[in-house]
Amino acid sequence: MPVPAKRLMIYLGESDSWQGRSLYLSLLETLRKNEIAGATVTRAIAGYGAHSRIRTHTIEVLSTDLPIVITVVDVPEAIDRALALVAPMVREGLITVEEVEIVRYTHRYLQPLPADRPVREVMTGTVTSVTPDTPARQVAELLLGKLFKAVPVVDEAQRVVGIVTDGDLLNKAGLPARLRVGERLAADDLRDFLMNVSRDQTAAQIMTAPVITAQEDEPLGYVVQRMLQQGLKRLPVVNAQGRLVGMVSRLDVLRAVAGGQGGQPEYAPAPKTGRTLGDMMMRDLPVVHVNDDLADVLLKMLSSAVHYVLVLDEKELPAGVITDGDLVARVSPVMRRNVLQALAARVLGTDVKRGQVTARELMSENVLSAPPETGIVEAINLMLGEGRKRLVVVDEQGRSMGMVDRQSLLAASTGL
């Protein structure tokens, strides 16, 4: 859908200056430092302004005062902020603002990884945590009832001692072994397990410990390298006293690379209720095509409420799924390194350009799918048996109708 925006136009002379420096360069620098989306400088071949002097770029006239036009397009609040910044700098010239619609916007290159930026500027500062003696059932309610991606475990001094994910619930909280080796579990058995999950256990018994953390003042580049080396999706962030102050995830890093803002909580949309995949599925999926490039995939993913995109082939049929994990794990045969490694390498000056990596190289192939009438427990058995976290709901022609994930299905089976 078109996005409402404004276009700021600044008309000035090439010889205009600001504090001893070219005015148009000073304006560009001011706009860039204040995170305005972008600006373009156009140098005219001829024109005249308030003084009615015709200026032209010819061999005979060696004028260095040709007309200059700076064009800026951004969301209305950003343009209002830009106007307040540049208006005092343009002492002679013309400034206009008009409403426009953005019908498409992608980066030609991804933003360089801000490796020297402290983690606290990228992390999510609002974090829900539990204590070691918190009942495992209460942790399950947070992970399945509210669909948090992870819950840190802290002691009385708010020091991080562990972390619990939905994987810990399945692997450590008493899930029957027969399900983990691929056998089917009846609906009543699954519901009983999840509703009575580890009634006698606590967070301390099911958490992953020890926990690798990040310091709030630590440069982001170091944290990215640690995530790569340890294969981690997210890290608790602590202060100098070791107390929990936030969480930083792969998604936060990708937001920073895409030029977005951090500090957004990492949890899924509210779970739906129902008995079949048709009842539960998310219909408005973020979609890309197999030949879309890395920049397009990132922007599509980050603009969605979910952290994955569906990849369609040339016939508009599901060809694969890309998650933030796939952006880390899947690599181009030419690059031979995953996306976050490529982003970290940009600290040394390496760019990931448009067209080098496409959705076809990034996606997980062999999409797991099922029809909309499939029951929730049957779908859970299918996903656990195949080791998948997401399933595409398809019609009789194999076309995508929506998608579900393991966490939301587990939540639906418990009634949390």
- Which helix (H) or strand (E) covers residue 164, if one does? strand 160-164
Does domain 3-102 bear CATH number 3.30.70.120?
Answer: yes
Instruction: Tell which wins on pLDDT, 356 or 20.
Output: 20
DSSP per-residue letters across 219-263: BHHHHHHHHHHHT-SEEEEE-TTSBEEEEEEHHHHHHHHTT----
- pLDDT above 70 (res 347): no
Q: Which of 76-85, 247-256, 324-333 has the lowest mean pLDDT?
A: 324-333
Which pTM was predicted? 0.56
Q: What is the pLDDT of residue 56?
A: 59
Q: How far is CA 217 from CA 106, 117, 246, 262, 302, in A?
A: 31, 9, 12, 15, 25
Is residue 205 within 8 A of residue 126, CB to CB? The reply is no
Helix (H) or strand (E) holding 405: strand 400-405
Task: Name the packing angle between helices 406-414 and 376-386 (round to 10°).
Answer: 140
Domain boundaries, the chain: 3-102, 119-257, 277-409
Confidence band of 53 (pLDDT split at 50, 70, 90): low
Type of residue numbered 271: P
**3-class secondary-structure state, position 165:** coil
Q: Spell out where 60-115 has E strands.
A: 67-74, 94-102
pLDDT, averaged across the chain: 78
**In the CATH hierarchy, which fold is given to the domain comprising 277-409?**
CBS-domain (3.10.580)
Q: Whole-angstrom Cα distance, residue 301 to residue 308?
A: 6
Q: Which CATH architecture has domain 119-257?
A: Roll (3.10)
Distance CA 271, CA 407 (A): 9
Sheet with 390-394: strands ordered across: 369-370, 390-394, 400-405
The pLDDT of residue 193 is: 58
**Burial level of 92, CB count in 10 A (0-12/13-18/19+)?**
exposed
Q: Is the pLDDT of residue 355 over 50?
A: no
CA 223 to CA 220: how far, in whole Å?
A: 5
Output the six-digit token pair for 385. Answer: 């048996």
Is there a shared CATH topology between the 119-257 domain and the 277-409 domain? yes
Answer yes or no: are the C-beta atoms of 212 and 235 closer than 8 Å: yes
Structure tokens that stand for 375 in this block? 């029951």
Q: How far is CA 69 from CA 7, 14, 243, in A?
A: 12, 9, 51
Task: Give the pLDDT score at 263.
Answer: 56
Where is pLDDT greater, at 174 or 86? 86
Q: What is the pLDDT of residues 225-262, one digit of tens each?
A: 788 778 788 899 999 999 999 999 888 877 777 665 55
Burial of 98 (0-12, 13-18, 19+ CB in 10 A): exposed
Q: Which residues contact 84 (CB under 8 A, 6 or more apart)?
A: none
Q: Give the chain's length.
A: 416
**Helix ranges (DSSP H) in 102-196:** 136-140, 166-172, 177-180, 187-195
Of 97, 98, 96, 86, nearest to 16 by C-alpha is 86
| Angstrom distance (rounded) from CA 53 to CA 330 | 59
Q: Supply 185's token pair.
A: 């579990």
Residue 285 is predicted with a pLDDT of 84
Cα–Cα nearest to 302, from 262, 362, 272: 262
pLDDT given for residue 131 in this prediction: 95
Q: Which of 79-93, 104-118, 352-366, 375-389 has the highest mean pLDDT?
A: 79-93
> Residue 87: pLDDT band by 50, 70, 90 thresholds?
very high
Per DSSP, 338 falls in state B
CA distance 17 to 27: 10
Torsion of CA 287, 290, 293, 296, to 10 degrees: -10
| Residue range 15-42, pLDDT digits in tens | 889 988 899 999 999 998 888 888 999 9
